[in-house]
Amino acid sequence: MLVERAKRNDRDALEELFRVNYPLLLGALVRITGDARAAEDVAQDAVLRAIVNLEKYEPRAKFSTWLITTALNTYRNRLRCARRELPTEHVSIAGVDSAEDLALGRLATSDAASLLGALSADKRQVFVLKHYYGFTYQEIADAVGCPVGTVRSRLHDSVQMLRREIARRGLI
């Protein structure tokens, strides 16, 4: 198995494993962060962390699921750092409450992702993982670090918000 070979530091297996899963990881992060460049940075960090901690991966979950979970942890850490670094006046002037919402400002200008930009960061993570990647509720709960009930309610709220947004923009 590819992962087992990779765990034994087989360079070819590692290359193959990450090259196969990288487009999916990057796609998920672009949708979640709304910023292709930031997504690439987070994805690279996540790959590095995943390689170093490859022993922690257990094959009962799909490798891509584990990789995305690792990436979301990396992303959350980066956001925490960004929030600490973000000056308060910047936040109030921009009328946003987090560094991620600043990224969302950029997201809003991109046609492909603008609809998802209507969702808050927490809800968008949940919705993207469910809608595009078919994660189970439990997998999403593990990935975003909240209870399954919260995942369900965030997903439900996302549907309601997207529905309103679609109607507001007259997309259907």
Partner 1 sequence: MNRECEKVREALLDMVYANASMGDIARHLEECSECRDYVGALADIAVVLSAQRDDCTPLPGVESAASSGAVAGASPDWARLSSTIERGVKLRMARERRTVGIFALSAAGILAAVWTPLLARSPHAFLALQVAGFSGIALFYLPIHVLRARRGDDM
* Residue 56 interacting with partner 1 (CB under 8 A): no
Binding part of the chain for partner 1, among 47-55, 72-80, 88-96, 139-147 by CB under 8 A, reads 47-55
* Residue 36 interacting with partner 1 (CB under 8 A): yes
Q: Which is nearer to partner 1, 86 or 161 (CB)?
A: 161
| Position among 2, 3, 11, 140 found at the interface with partner 1 (CB under 8 A) | 11
> Taking the complex as a whole, how short is the minimal distance between the CB of residue 91 and partner 1, in angstroms?
27
> Taking the complex as a whole, how short is the minimal distance between the CB of residue 20 and partner 1, in angstroms?
6
Q: Which is nearer to partner 1, 98 or 110 (CB)?
A: 110
* Residue 94 interacting with partner 1 (CB under 8 A): no
SS (H, E, C) the chain: CHHHHHHCCCHHHHHHHHHHHHHHHHHHHHHHHCCHHHHHHHHHHHHHHHHHCHHHCCCCCCHHHHHHHHHHHHHHHHHHHHHHHCCHHHHHHHCCCCHHHHHHHHHCCCCCCCCHHHCCHHHHHHHHHHHCCCCCHHHHHHHHCCCHHHHHHHHHHHHHHHHHHHHHHCCC
* Residue 141 interacting with partner 1 (CB under 8 A): no
* Residue 14 interacting with partner 1 (CB under 8 A): yes
| Position among 83, 109, 134, 147 found at the interface with partner 1 (CB under 8 A) | 134
Cα angle value 72/77/79 (rounded, 5°): 90
Residue type, 39: A
Give how many residues touch partner 1 by CB under 8 A: 51
* Residue 110 interacting with partner 1 (CB under 8 A): yes
